């Protein structure tokens, strides 16, 4: 009894600062003990409601209509166990699944088997979780079916080529069309989707890149971006003066051309071989001229060689007279 009385007397003589230090020591000790225990791994059964996300299910919404409770025996730290206990029906754990792991079921739902579900253990139960076994071999998710249609992608671009270069092919998109999902009334007014503006200057070689699609309110796209490819080739401008031949002259006619030569301003593939102009032949169709008012006919190129990229003729028509 005397010792207890002495202890109480000593405590009464402690200063306020000493009391604060004592309480703080107890709090820190409790915190260290708690952190240590929460860092340890425990084998427990956990039940976590999961809302499935998937962008690769054509014709369906990207989020499951309801959450599905997944029960499993796992080894996890106390921190992850507390985290999993926090999830409820109103705040389910959102997990993004690969489309290849979700399989269609005749009932209209999609299912994932335990073997594939194990790949998402960390997403569902936390980074520390080690799977022991699932309560079920198969988990089903229901996605709301949405109307969709395939529409072309329109590239919005400002592409300026370097001098003496031109496109060797139209700018291509991959893919050039996508699926859009929306309500039927909104869907019927969507005929195409557009990209953000692509700006390229002084292009002198093949190039490409990714460009995002312009979002549309209330509409979901099967993908958010496409790849564009630009192909160019070097060219050289050359001027040729070519004779004009007259073909399909009706019997008994002896027409004369208003001009005997035409000027061709040509864009040619680089490098240009000497003497290639011998491959170029211009002609006018007399039957066409006699069948038109004014007896005029277009000047045409008989065959366009591969090295002739583009051209213009001066003049473009001739007049026949007798």
Residue ranges matching CATH 2.170.120.40 in the chain: 148-230
The closest alpha carbon to 176, from 232, 227, 231, 230, belongs to 227
What is the token pair recorded at 111? 């299912």
Q: Are 183 and 196 in contact (CB under 8 A)?
A: no
Q: Is the pTM of the predicted complex or chain greater than 0.95?
A: no
For the domain with range 235-321, which CATH number is right: 1.10.260.40, 3.40.50.170, 2.170.120.30, 1.10.1060.10?
Answer: 2.170.120.30
Q: What is the pLDDT of residue 157?
A: 93
Contacts of 287 (CB under 8 A, 6+ apart): 248, 249, 250
Query: Which residue(s) pair with 310 in the sheet?
Result: 267
Exposed e or buried b for every residue in 15-45, given b needs 16+ CB within 10 A? eeeeeeeeeeeeeeeeeeeeeeeeeeeeebe
Spatial distance between the Cα atoms of 112 and 243, rounded to a whole number of angstroms: 74
Spatial distance between the Cα atoms of 19 and 41, rounded to a whole number of angstroms: 36
Fold of 148-230: RNA Polymerase Alpha Subunit; Chain A, domain 2 (2.170.120)
**Could you list the pLDDT tens digit for every one of the 322 residues in the chain?**
556 565 555 555 555 555 555 555 555 545 544 454 444 465 677 788 889 999 878 778 888 888 888 888 877 775 555 555 666 556 788 899 999 999 998 888 999 999 998 899 888 887 777 778 888 889 999 988 778 888 999 999 999 988 888 887 889 999 999 988 887 888 888 999 999 999 999 888 889 999 999 999 888 888 899 999 999 888 888 888 999 888 888 776 778 788 889 999 988 888 877 777 788 899 888 887 777 776 788 889 988 888 888 889 999 988 877 7
Tell me the three state secondary structure of residue 317: strand
Q: What is the pLDDT of residue 92?
A: 87
Q: Are 302 and 282 in contact (CB under 8 A)?
A: yes
Place of tokens 């190039």: 207
The C-alpha angle with vertex 235 and arms to 232 and 241, in degrees rounded to 5, equals 145
Q: Within its chain, how far is the Cα of 293 from the centroid?
A: 55
Q: What is the pLDDT of residue 11?
A: 54
First to last CA, the chain: 146
Residue ranges matching CATH 2.170.120.30 in the chain: 235-321
The closest alpha carbon to 302, from 259, 264, 273, 269, belongs to 264
The values of phi and psi at residue 61, to 5°, are -65, 160
The C-alpha angle with vertex 63 and arms to 60 and 69, in degrees rounded to 5, equals 125
Tell me the three state secondary structure of residue 7: helix
Spatial distance between the Cα atoms of 120 and 127, rounded to a whole number of angstroms: 10
Q: What is the pLDDT of residue 41?
A: 65
The closest alpha carbon to 187, from 142, 156, 229, 219, belongs to 219
Q: What is the pLDDT of residue 135?
A: 85
Q: DSSP class of residue 122?
A: H
Taking phi over 0 as left and psi of -120 to 50 as alpha, with beta for the rest, 195 belongs to beta
What's the burial of 237, exposed, middle or buried (CB within 10 Å: 0-12/13-18/19+)?
exposed
């Amino acid at each position: 009894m005397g010792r207890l009385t002495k202890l109480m007397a000593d405590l009464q003589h402690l200063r306020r600062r000493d009391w604060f230090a004592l309480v703080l020591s107890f709090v820190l000790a409790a915190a260290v003990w708690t952190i240590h225990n929460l860092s340890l791994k425990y084998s427990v059964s956990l039940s976590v409601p999961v809302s499935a996300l998937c962008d690769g299910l054509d014709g369906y919404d990207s989020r499951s209509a309801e959450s599905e409770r997944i029960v499993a025996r796992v080894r996890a730290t106390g921190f992850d166990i507390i985290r999993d206990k926090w999830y409820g029906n109103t705040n389910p754990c959102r997990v993004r699944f690969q489309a290849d792991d979700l399989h269609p079921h005749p009932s209209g739902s999609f299912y994932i088997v335990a073997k594939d579900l194990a790949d998402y253990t960390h997403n569902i139960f936390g980074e520390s979780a080690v799977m022991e076994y699932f309560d079920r071999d198969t988990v089903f998710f229901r996605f709301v079916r949405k109307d969709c249609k395939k529409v072309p992608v329109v590239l919005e671009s400002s592409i300026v080529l370097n001098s003496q270069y031109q496109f060797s092919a139209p700018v291509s998109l991959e893919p050039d069309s996508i699926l859009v999902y929306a309500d039927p009334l909104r869907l019927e007014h969507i005929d195409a989707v557009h990209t953000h503006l692509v700006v390229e200057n002084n292009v002198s070689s093949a190039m490409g890149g990714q460009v995002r699609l312009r979002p549309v309110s209330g509409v979901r796209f099967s993908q958010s971006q496409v790849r564009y490819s630009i192909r160019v080739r070097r060219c050289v401008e050359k001027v040729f003066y070519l004779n004009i031949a007259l073909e399909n002259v009706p019997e008994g006619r002896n027409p004369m051309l208003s001009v005997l030569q035409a000027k061709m301003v040509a864009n040619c593939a680089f490098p240009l071989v000497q003497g290639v102009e011998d491959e170029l032949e211009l002609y006018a169709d007399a039957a066409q001229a006699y069948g038109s008012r004014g007896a005029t006919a277009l000047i045409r190129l008989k065959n366009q060689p591969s090295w002739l990229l583009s051209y213009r003729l001066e003049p473009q028509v001739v007049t026949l007279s007798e």
